[in-house]
Copies of this chain bind each other. A is one copy, B any other.
Amino acid sequence: MNGKNAWKQLWLAYDKKKELGNGVYVEKVSLIGFDEENRVVKSALQELKKGVSGMLGVTAEVTEKDAEAKGLVLKKCDELPKESYSIKEEGGKLTLMAGDENGLLYGVFHLLRQISMEKKLSGMNVTCKPDNPLRMYNHWDNMDGSIERGYSGNSFFFVKNDIVIDERTRDYARLVASVGINGVVINNVNVKQAASWLISDRFFEKVAELSKIFADYGIKFFLSLNFAATIELGGLDSADPLDERVIAWWKEKMKECFAKIPNLGGFLVKADSEGRPGPFTYGRTQADGANMLAEAVRPYGGIIIWRCFVYNCKQDWRDYKTDRARAGYDNFIQMDGDYAENVILQIKNGPMDFQIREPISPLLGGLKKTNQMLEVQVAQEYTGHQIDVCYLIPMFKEVLDFHTYCKPGADTVADVISGRTMGNQNTGIAAVINTGNDANWTGNDLAAANLYGFGRLAYQTSLSAGDILDEWIPMQISTDPEVIKVIKDILLRSRETYEKYTSPLGIGWMVTPHDHYGCSVDGYEYDRWGTYHRADHLGIGVDRSDKGTGYAQQYYEPNATAYNSVESCPEELLLFFHHVPYTHVLKTGKTLIQHIYDSHFEGYDEAEGFAKAWDGLEGKVDAEVFANVKERFGRQLANARDWRDQVNTYFYRKSGIPDEKGRTIY
């Protein structure tokens, strides 16, 4: 990458690939049943041409309908569901059938993926349909250009309180569409200052222009809303969702928004959370707030995505009764069924906040009559700031595969958010994105695996974490089997390694306050955030059983019972659910304290192993990529060492129990 304005194309770089006879299939392209002038169809054809030209040196030409004996037929097929496609090769002819334009686009990207992975197109026979109706990226970009929890530069949407549209905008849309993303929220959920004015004449023109670029790639355009916009924009003295003036203002405003912003999908709202305004201010329920907005966007087919991240962020650490983990469920469960059809509740994967290990939020599937959307975080806020390598797809898989026991036969989180459990349409999955204006988009080049992987997983939940790497590594880094093996090994183990050298057994939060990188065992222990480990000289952990805060009882059986006792609780979550003595013997036969020591020494050693393995790739991957990742491994090692030594020292000093193996603790 040369020059500061250059940026990478990641897995769409379309470098020359091995010739496997794929060229013959894509030189002649017939289009049947699709309008060549449709903006998404245009994008698909454009992408196809660009891809095969770069990778195969072939010029794809759109010919008369189905004329050629050999070639690619792109054909609309009404029997296929929306956003679905099938690809079949027979006798030298490749037929891509798609349910709609998005299906066509995704099918084209599938073909290009095959080529990029250096796989043959001959003999193909696949049908793909999306598991989740909504597959979204949420940007936490602020209009001043900063990104809340951004670790790869500043925003490429916003600079100095204005919207920027350039070639990068389109590349962004291409990248996320290529992995099946069909919705994007471009601004931070904490909507303040200039961002409140995105839904006003001050920005409508540019917002519309931006939204059209997304439209080209079948991506619905969403904005985060300021619930107090009636006050800040409307000049009213209230944001009460039952106030007639407020209702009228929003109706008018939504009419205006949908008229002026083509391709608008709806809005994301963070209300009554961490200082943001919301219906609670007016003694109203969350449903009152969400439904009022939903009613205003309904005429235009819009949806309201309402975040469930509502908790008391001014807790007293002395208070052992209040449990932040309970808050999401407690705040939302009683209104189950009260939400309008075009409202979706967006629920973070865990009950706390994106820790490296948490139980699954009991609200997911706990709600039985409400549209739900899972929120995960690809941005590595608590998982290493895109300095430390941490491939998150294994974690997301655990979440999706979790049995909530909400309904026999369709009880996993994946079932709930796909609509399979309730038969609903407005559901899906969203991730807080990890991009910025760094040339490589994600800070650490290896963090692009998460950017790629989330989209793929959202589209096709059955993909394994390894399957996704088998796609991403050859597409973005190298098709060399040795390189693939090394990187795949690093990435697949990276989450567990990060967990090992940070906080043990699900307790979380031993992190530097505010910044969320680096160790501070007591950093949150005496603070107001409801995030405590309660370590004393005898033990550690939070009793969330029925003898404690009762959080475990928010789950259906048999989960509730399993979590309720030390014996049956999954050990990786032991300290989340129980206060346990350091001398407690784990299933491995180790005491808890010895587990803490061992895992921290192991975690550091593993990180060291990753760094060494990476060093072995010098000359086998792009020099710039090599240097980028090497530099970050250097920082990861320093971080892992700090974590290891601080955590071990903290618990040694507190417990007085020495490491059995006599390793250095300070």
> A residues near B, CB below 8 A?
317-318, 320, 519-522, 526, 535-538, 642, 645-646, 649-650, 652-656, 666
Find chain B residues with CB under 8 A from A642 CB. 526
With A318-B645, A318-B666, A645-B318 as known contacts, state yes or no: A653 contacts B526, CB within 8 Å.
no
Best-surrounded residue of A317, A537, A645, A656 (most CB of chain B within 10 A): A537
Q: Max chain B CB contacts within 10 Å: which of A320, A650, A653?
A: A653
Residue on B with the closest CB to A656? B537
- What are 26 A-B pairs at a CB distance below 8 A? A317-B666, A318-B645, A318-B649, A318-B666, A320-B666, A519-B526, A520-B522, A520-B526, A521-B522, A521-B526, A522-B522, A522-B650, A526-B642, A526-B645, A526-B646, A526-B649, A526-B650, A535-B653, A536-B653, A536-B654, A536-B656, A537-B653, A537-B655, A538-B656, A653-B654, A654-B654
**What 3 pairs across the A-B complex have the smallest Cβ distances?**
A536-B653, A537-B656, A522-B522
Residues of B within 8 A of A654 (CB): 536-537, 653-654
Q: Which residues of B contact A320 (CB under 8 A)?
A: 666
Number of identical protomers: 2
Cα A645 to Cα B526 with chains together (Å): 9
Q: How far is the CA of A650 from the CA of B526 in the complex (A)?
A: 9
In the docked arrangement, what's the CA distance between A537 and B645, Å? 17
> In the docked arrangement, what's the CA distance between A519 and B666, Å?
23
- Within the complex, the shortest CB–CB distance from A477 to chain B, in Å, comes to 36
Within the complex, the shortest CB–CB distance from A445 to chain B, in Å, comes to 29
Chain B min CB distance to A517 (Å): 14
Q: Which chain B positions have C-beta within 8 A of A656?
A: 536-538
Give the chain B neighbours of A666 by CB distance below 8 A. Answer: 317-318, 320
CB-CB under 8 A from A652, the residues of chain B are 536
- Complex-state Cα separation, A145 to B649, whole angstroms: 42
Find chain B residues with CB under 8 A from A526 CB.
Answer: 519-521, 642, 645-646, 649-650
Inter-chain CA distance A653–B317, complex, in Å, is 14
Q: Which residues in B have their C-beta under 8 angstroms from that of A538?
A: 656
- Minimum Cβ distance to chain B for residue A3 (Å): 29
Residues of B within 8 A of A650 (CB): 522, 526
Q: Name the CB-closest residue of B to A665.
A: B318
How far, in Å, is A289 (CB) from chain B's closest CB?
Answer: 32
A285 to B300, CA, bound (A): 75
**CA separation between A666 and B646, bound complex, in Å?**
24
Instruction: Report A464 CB to chain B, min CB distance, Å.
Output: 38
Chain B residues with CB under 8 A of A519: 526
Complex Cα distance, B646 from A526, in Å, reads 7
Bound-state CA distance A645–B319 (Å) is 12
**Alpha-carbon gap, A474 to B646, bound state (A):** 53
Q: List the B side residues contacting A645 at CB < 8 Å.
A: 318, 526
In the complex, the chain B residue whose C-beta lies closest to that of A522 is B522
Give Cα A521 to B522, complex, Å.
8
Bound CA–CA A656/B538 (angstroms):
8
Residue on B with the closest CB to A647?
A: B526
Docked CA distance A538–B658 (Å): 13
**In the bound complex, what is the Cα–Cα distance between A522 and B650 (angstroms)?**
10
With the chains together, A265 CA to B159 CA distance in Å? Answer: 47
Q: How far, in whole Å, are A646 and B521 apart by their CA atoms in the complex?
A: 14
Report how far A203 CA is from B61 CA in the complex, Å.
70
Whole-angstrom distance between the Cβ of A238 and the nearest chain B Cβ: 30
In the complex, A645 Cα to B646 Cα: how many Å?
A: 24
A287 to chain B, nearest CB (A): 36
A520 to B520, CA, bound (A): 11
Expressed in whole angstroms, the minimum distance between the Cβ of A225 and any Cβ of chain B is 34
Residue of B nearest to A540 (CB): B653
Q: Please give me the residue from chain B that is nearest to A653 by CB atom.
A: B536
Give CA–CA (A642, B320) in the complex, Å: 16
C-alpha gap A320/B655 in the complex (Å): 20
Contacts of A536 in B (CB 8 A): 652-654, 656
Q: In the bound complex, what is the Cα–Cα distance between A535 and B655 (angstroms)?
A: 12
A353 to chain B, nearest CB (A): 21
Chain B nearest CB from A536 CB (Å) reads 4
CB-defined contacts of A649 to chain B, threshold 8 Å: 318, 526
Closest chain B residue, CB of each to CB of A646: B526
A382 nearest CB across to chain B (Å): 18
* Contacting residues, chain B, for A535 (C-beta < 8 A): 653
Q: Which residue of chain B has its CB nearest to the CB of A317? A: B666
Question: Chain B nearest CB: distance from A633 CB in Å?
Answer: 21
Q: Which residue of B lies closest to A320 (CB)?
A: B666
Select from chain B the residue with minimum beta-carbon distance to A664: B318
* Complex interface: chain B residues within 8 A of A655 (CB): 537
Determine the distance from Cα of A646 to Cα of B527 in the docked complex, in whole angstroms. 10
| Extra 15 A-B pairs, beta carbons < 8 Å, given A318-B666, A320-B666, A535-B653 | A317-B666, A318-B645, A519-B526, A522-B650, A526-B642, A526-B645, A526-B649, A536-B652, A536-B653, A536-B656, A537-B537, A537-B653, A537-B654, A537-B655, A538-B656
